[in-house]
Amino acid sequence: MIAAIEPVIQAKDLSKVYRMGEVDVHALKDISLHIKRGESVAIMGPSGSGKSTLMNILGCLDRPTSGDYFLEGVEVSGLSDDQLAGIRNQKIGFVFQSFNLLQRTSALANVELPLNYASQPTDGRDRAAEALRAVGLENRMKHRPAELSGGEQQRVAIARALVNEPAILMADEPTGNLDSKAGQEIINLLLKLNQERDATLIIITHDQKVAAQTQRIIQIRDGMLEENQL
Amino acid sequence: MNLKRILLETIRSLNSNKLRTSLTMLGIVIGVAAVIAMLAIGQGAQNSITSSINSIGSNILFVSEGSSARFFQGGTNVVRNIRPLTLLDAEALLDASQAPSIKAVAPVIQGSNITAAASGQKTTTTVLGVTSGYASIRNEQLTEGAFFNDQQVNIHARVAIIGPDLATTLFGRTNNLVGSTLRLNGQTFTIIGTLKAKGGTSIGSSDNQVIIPFTTARDRVIYRTGNAVDVIYVQATDANSVSEANTQISQILRMKHHVKLGSEDFSVFSQQDLLSTATSITGILTAFLGGIAAISLLVGGIGIMNIMLVSVVERTREIGLRKAVGARNRDILVQFLSESAFLSLLGGLIGILLGWSISMLIGKIASLLGTTLNPMVSLNAVLLATLFSAAVGLFFGIYPARRAANLQPVEALRYE
């Protein structure tokens, strides 16, 4: 079980520079971090600190300007758009603050979406249904997002993130659009999945209470890691 | 994504905004319908002109006085001192040794605005003075009675063959007319036959005319001096000898009129010439109408592009999400392209049906107005319209689809 010993995420000197007109904005400066398989981590920091940029890079939505990023031992910072799409599809599940569900389709079809883009065709219906059962929505499969509560919608989004059995679950402010009760349910669900499925969980949050429930908190400020509680 | 999934997604997406989808499609529907209808009407017009030219007779050539060089061959030499065509010219054409390709000849004089009166009714008509060979050359058939013979021509017989439309005007019927009396410019004629109707649009249709012996016409109704004739109908022995007949006619008449090659004072047309002229005119007309219709198809295509661009902007977040869960650029491209192609293809199919209905309707209206026009929707036009509309969809869909495909996932997800 070499994979279990090796960190899932291994980043070395990640930097991201945006050009805004004449000025270079350093969103990330030489960030190095390791995250182990099955770990739950919260990334915290004030607005503009670079935490979203970090998540985008760790989630393979964006590439670092410099530095190395190994995901399950594979260097991904030099991959093409399509290769990155394949990695997002197979290894990463995203949960967004605003759910990002397709409004005109059922919960089931929403969960099925990542399977449509998988390189190997699968029995999508069954797997999507199973993922919805795992988040406790077995009675809401045919409902459209508009017919679901905020908490339920976020659970559909979690099911969608789960359906390809990714190595990493990434949640960007998953409770930001929810009341505290529904928010806590979502956090409980994420932590449960983290433990049951051995999926690495990364939550980006403002909320100290949310962060406190994870095993480790990574603080980021001005594009640099501030504190790395191990 | 497999084809079935793509199609399902496409239909779902187009279905989610029905009004917009149908309005976008309308541009293509109208464009394709216009192209189909115009081509069908053009084809119908061509068919009816062709059939009316064919109804003149078979393997017919027309000889008339005056030079055709100026108009048709771009010649500059204006022919002076034109000699009229005469009965003698017509007889000369029947010379079997000089004109072996000529089967029959019919000289004709024609007078219009002749007053015709019978049983208290009065109207103006066109009178043809012809010889006995005319009927078979022009393929004129009688519903009753018989055509006049050579002898009746020789004795200036006052007999007449009446066209069915004229008979209806004067007598209110087209049968039992043989033996009735008809007055042409005050001269009394006895009707000896009634022509079978040829249809309204036939060229040189005799439905509204009176045919009388050449001699009688010349001396009593149309008044021509000498042996002058207006036109000589010549029938070639068969379809293959029409051009030889043409050459032989020209040779004989050049000799008789003492003119050189290129300065003829007569002109010869064959049915083929008429046909090809008519075909090229209707062809130009069809291309012109079809071209205008194609412009509306183009406008419809631009409409598709416009809507697809709006749709890409509207669905930026959706595109971002799809990319986040693993859609490659190609997947997004295919998704948007299939939407625009589906739109235009479906619009094209509806347009074909609509265009077909429009052309049928126009055919009905034309026949109510007494014109024979049977619009023909050809398989080629349908294939062309289908292909063209699909191509329009793809062509105008490519730019918006590429814009969607090239969106960066991070930017797209952040889009509000």
Task: Please report, for the domain that includes residue A148, its CATH number.
Answer: 3.40.50.300
Dist CA B189 CA B145 (whole Å): 15
* Cα of A70 to nearest chain B Cα, Å: 19
Mean predicted confidence (pLDDT) in B323-330: 93
Q: Do A88 and B323 touch (CB under 8 A)?
A: yes
pLDDT tens profile B377-387:
888 888 988 88
Looking only at Cα atoms, what is the longest distance across chain B?
Answer: 104
In this predicted structure, the answer to whether residue B354 has a pLDDT above a threshold of 60 is yes
For B339-352, b/e burial (b = at least 16 CB within 10 A) is bbbbbbbbbbbbbb
CB contacts < 8 A (A, B) = 61
Residue A16 pLDDT: 92
Dist CA B399 CA B387 (whole Å): 19
In this predicted structure, the answer to whether residue B72 has a pLDDT above a threshold of 60 is no
Q: Do A82 and B326 touch (CB under 8 A)?
A: no
Q: Do A113 and B317 touch (CB under 8 A)?
A: no
What band does B29 get if pLDDT is binned at 50, 70 and 90? very high
Q: How far apart are the first and last CA of chain A?
A: 23
The answer to whether A41 and A33 have CB atoms below 8 angstroms apart is: no
pLDDT tens profile A38-69:
999 999 988 888 888 999 999 999 999 999 99
State the DSSP code for A114.
H
Residue B46 pLDDT: 87
Nearest by CB to residue A121, choosing from B2, B318, B320, is: B2
Nearest by CB to residue A100, choosing from B317, B329, B330, is: B317
CB atoms within 10 A of CB A151: 18
Mutate to test the interface with B, among A58, A60, A82 (most CBs of B within 10 A): A82
| Interface list for chain B against chain A, based on CB atoms closer than 8 Å | 1-2, 5, 12-13, 16, 317-318, 320-331, 408-410, 413
The answer to whether A122 and A112 have CB atoms below 8 angstroms apart is: no
Closest by CA position to A96, among listed A139, A61, A133, A140: A61
In the sheet that holds A23-35, the strands lie side by side as A23-35, A9-20, A66-71, A74-75
Distances in Å between the Cα of A31 and the Cα atoms of A10, A65, A155, A220, B256 are 11, 12, 32, 10, 110
Mean predicted confidence (pLDDT) in B345-373: 89
What band does A2 get if pLDDT is binned at 50, 70 and 90? very low
**For the whole model, what pTM was predicted?**
0.75
Where in the sequence is the domain holding A50, given as residue range(s)? 2-228
Residue B385 pLDDT: 85
Dist CA B259 CA B108 (whole Å): 23
State the DSSP code for A179.
-
ipTM: 0.92
Q: In the structure encoding, which two tokens stand for residue A203, read together?
A: 């939550």
What residues of B are in contact with residue A82 (Cβ under 8 Å)? 328-330
| Interface list for chain A against chain B, based on CB atoms closer than 8 Å | 56, 59, 61-62, 81-82, 85-86, 88-90, 94, 96, 100, 102, 104-105, 113-114, 116-118, 121, 160, 164
Judged on CB neighbours under 10 Å (0-12, 13-18, 19+), B143 is middle
User: What are the φ and ψ backbone dihedral angles of B33, each rounded to 5 degrees?
Assistant: -60, -40
Domain count, chain A: 1
The answer to whether A102 and A111 have CB atoms below 8 angstroms apart is: no
Domain boundaries along the sequence of chain B = 3-53+276-414, 80-258
Nearest residue in chain B measured CA to CA from A120: B1
